[in-house]
């Protein structure tokens, strides 16, 4: 360490005892964004606990890449050790590296292309249930669609709507409980017969039963389908040991959680932007009509859906679902001039980074054309919707494919307009989701046809 390294300054607005809890409760998105004005790394207090917010893009990049060996995922993730297993988003060190290597093949490009048919079928089925003139809760519709997609890819077939819904409700209960436990000051209440603990036990039991049954059936299937569950069952660790049922269950639960809500929220924001930018929507309709030409969407169409992809890119910039990503220093570290002790909690915010006026011209404007190849592209580390380095999202390619497919399929049939009286604001919960997004579905061509008649 050199002499100029210092403990990062406090962000203004700290109160005795509660620290920065008030602005975090009042408007945490605005709070996280204004922190960049107070230093490359600033210190905030969440109650008694110091948390270091890394604002400078080059230091975020350094933490995630060159210095990644000095950081673990942090306190939140300790509580996400599900069913006794440490699934990929939670595993640390050698175990993480090994598990990542084992699961990577399921997320290779050719493999993802082979999922596109399943993605389309799931989306088409959901879209058939929409009715002309219906008022849709768009976030809910997108959740059902992305849950269906991830389940169909994991299990080769989508479970019936009822069981699928109970699986996802249980995944949600398990994760909400884990997060409550991570932020709770004491853990003594975790075993008390409280309603929340009872709900958690019921959700765990349901997941064990339903997912456990699917895995048990698969173990005895003489011709198992080529899906993610089969891949997990075939997986061997370095000693040649297969994953046991607990590990498979925890990995499946983690993928269901990590792989559905984030994409659903992204899709909801994208449809919100299209709803208030009719010119953009018109251009999208033209692209989709030309490329698909009324046929079924396949992997071959994807490279030609260029505006569709730019819409996804811009949505992942302006409306990134992650408002906070955590790390914990495992040794004393230095980031720029900031000196941090071993055990320090750090966070960075994809949401704030992607709205930095120092990195993007007119950053609050939704403009997919900023991603045209002849426009200046952001500097390294300025656009990292999926993180970076060894812990970068394993599902990034999956998401690009899925969001492109879903956008193109919605656009090929439907126009969505905000329902009267709908005001949308971002709500930072686990992801940054729209507060309430009700839109009216209009079958494409219908209005034109009516006018022509
Ligand atoms: C809009 C969609 C998505 C976004 C914005 C997103 C974002 C992220 C981010 C930022 C990370 C890194 C967290 C960190 O550095 O601590 C991550 C990790 C992860 N994501 Fe995603 N994700 C998305 C979709 C998906 C999908 C579709 C899947 C799976 C089907 C998935 C599975 C995972 C897993 C397993 C990890 C942990 C990787 C590891 O630690 O090695 N994600 N995601």
What CATH number should be reported for the domain holding residue 379?
A: 1.10.630.10
**381 Cβ closer than 6 Å to some ligand 1 atom:** no
pTM: 0.93
- Give the chain's domain count: 1
Query: Can you give the pLDDT at residue 32?
Result: 94
Atom 22 in ligand 1: which residue has the minimum CA distance?
393
CA of 222 to the centre of ligand 1 (A): 33
In order of 94, 156, 184, 271, the CA distances from 79 in angstroms are: 19, 30, 11, 34
| CA gap 131, 135 in Å, rounded | 9
Identify the pLDDT of residue 444: 93
Total number of residues shown for the chain: 453
Q: Is residue 13 part of a domain?
A: no
Asked if 390 contacts 397 with a C-beta cutoff of 8 angstroms, the reply is no
Amino acid 117: pLDDT: 92
Q: Which domain holds residue 250?
A: 21-452
Q: Which structure tokens are listed for 18? A: 């509660």
Q: How far apart (Å, rounded) are the C-alpha atoms in residues 55 and 351?
A: 11
Specify if 4 maps to a domain. no
Lookup: tokens for 115: 């999922």
The pLDDT value given to residue 305: 98
- Interhelix angle for 306-318 vs 245-275, to 10°? 100
Residue nearest to atom 3 of ligand 1 (CA): 262
- Please tell me if the CB atom of residue 150 comes closer than 6 angstroms to any atom of ligand 1: yes
Q: Tell whether 178 is covered by a domain.
A: yes
Other CB atoms within a 10 A radius of the CB of residue 43 amount to 21
Report how far apart, in Å, the C-alpha atoms of 143 and of each of 20, 45, 257, 313, 431 are.
Answer: 33, 34, 11, 20, 13
Which pLDDT does position 160 carry in this prediction? 66
Residue whose pair of structure tokens reads 């976030």 in the numeric block = 139
Residue 196 lies in a domain: yes
- Give the Å distance between the CA of 394 and the centre of ligand 1: 6
Instruction: Judge if the beta carbon of residue 393 lies within 6 A of ligand 1.
Output: yes
State the DSSP string of 35-84. Answer: GGGG-SEEEEEETTEEEEEE--HHHHHHHHTTTGGGEE--HHHHTT-GGG
Query: How crowded is residue 50: how many other Cβ atoms within 10 Å of its Cβ?
Result: 16
The pLDDT of residue 183: 60
In a domain, 349, yes or no: yes
> Nearest to residue 311, comparing CAs of 353, 348, 282, 350?
282
In a domain, 16, yes or no: no
Residue 400 lies in a domain: yes
CA 379/CA 185 separation, integer angstroms: 40
**Does 9 map to a domain?**
no
pLDDT in tens, the chain (453 residues): 445 789 999 988 888 878 888 888 888 999 999 999 999 999 998 878 899 999 999 999 999 999 999 999 987 666 666 556 788 988 999 989 988 988 888 899 998 998 999 999 999 999 999 999 999 999 999 998 999 999 888 887 766 666 777 888 888 888 777 766 666 655 667 777 777 788 888 888 888 888 888 888 888 888 888 778 888 888 777 777 888 888 888 888 889 888 999 999 999 999 999 999 999 999 999 999 999 999 999 999 999 999 999 999 999 999 999 999 999 999 999 999 999 999 999 999 999 999 999 999 999 999 999 999 999 999 999 999 999 999 999 999 999 999 999 999 999 999 999 999 999 999 998 899 999 999 999 999 755 444 543
Q: Is 262 in the pocket of ligand 1 (CB under 6 A)?
A: yes
């Amino acid at each position: 360490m050199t002499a100029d390294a210092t403990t990062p300054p406090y962000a203004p607005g700290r109160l005795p005892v509660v620290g920065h809890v008030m602005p975090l409760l009042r408007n945490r998105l605005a709070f996280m964004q204004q922190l960049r004005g107070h230093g490359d790394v600033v210190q905030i207090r969440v109650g008694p606990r110091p948390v270091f917010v890394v604002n400078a893009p080059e230091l975020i990049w350094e933490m995630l890449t060159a210095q990644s060996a000095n950081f673990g995922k942090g306190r939140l993730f300790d509580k996400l050790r599900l069913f006794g297993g440490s699934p990929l988003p939670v595993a640390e060190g050698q175990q993480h590296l090994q598990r990542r290597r084992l699961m990577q093949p399921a997320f290779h490009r050719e493999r993802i292309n082979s999922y596109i048919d399943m993605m389309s079928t799931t989306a088409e089925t959901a879209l058939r249930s929409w009715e002309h003139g219906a008022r849709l809760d768009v976030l809910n519709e997108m959740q059902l669609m992305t849950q269906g997609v991830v389940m169909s890819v994991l299990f080769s077939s989508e479970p019936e709507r009822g069981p699928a819904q109970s699986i996802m409700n249980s995944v949600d209960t398990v994760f909400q409980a884990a997060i409550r436990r991570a932020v709770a000051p004491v853990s003594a209440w975790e075993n008390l017969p409280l309603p929340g603990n009872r709900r958690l036990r019921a959700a765990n039991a349901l997941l064990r039963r339903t997912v456990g049954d699917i895995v048990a059936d698969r173990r005895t299937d003489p011709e198992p389908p080529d899906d993610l569950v089969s891949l997990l069952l075939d997986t061997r660790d370095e000693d040649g040991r297969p994953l046991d049922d607990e590990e498979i269950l925890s990995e499946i639960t983690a993928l269901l959680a990590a792989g559905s809500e984030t994409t659903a929220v992204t899709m909801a924001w994208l449809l919100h932007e299209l709803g208030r930018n009719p010119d953009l929507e018109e251009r999208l309709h033209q692209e989709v009509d030309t490329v698909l030409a009324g046929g079924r969407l396949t992997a071959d169409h994807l490279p030609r859906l260029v505006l569709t992809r730019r819409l996804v890119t811009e949505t992942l910039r302006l409306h990134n679902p992650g408002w906070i990503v955590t790390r914990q220093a495992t040794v004393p570290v230095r980031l720029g001039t900031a000196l941090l002790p071993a055990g320090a909690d750090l966070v960075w915010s994809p949401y704030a980074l992607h709205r930095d006026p120092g990195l993007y011209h007119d950053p609050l404007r939704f403009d997919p054309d900023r991603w045209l190849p002849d426009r200046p592209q952001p500097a390294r580390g300025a656009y990292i919707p999926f993180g970076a380095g060894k812990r970068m999202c394993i599902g990034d390619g999956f998401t690009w494919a899925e969001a492109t497919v879903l956008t193109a399929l919605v656009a090929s049939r439907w126009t969505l307009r905000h329902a009267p009286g709908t005001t949308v604001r971002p709500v930072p919960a686990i992801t940054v989701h729209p507060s309430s997004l009700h839109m009216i579905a209009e079958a494409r061509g219908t209005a034109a046809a009516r006018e022509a008649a």
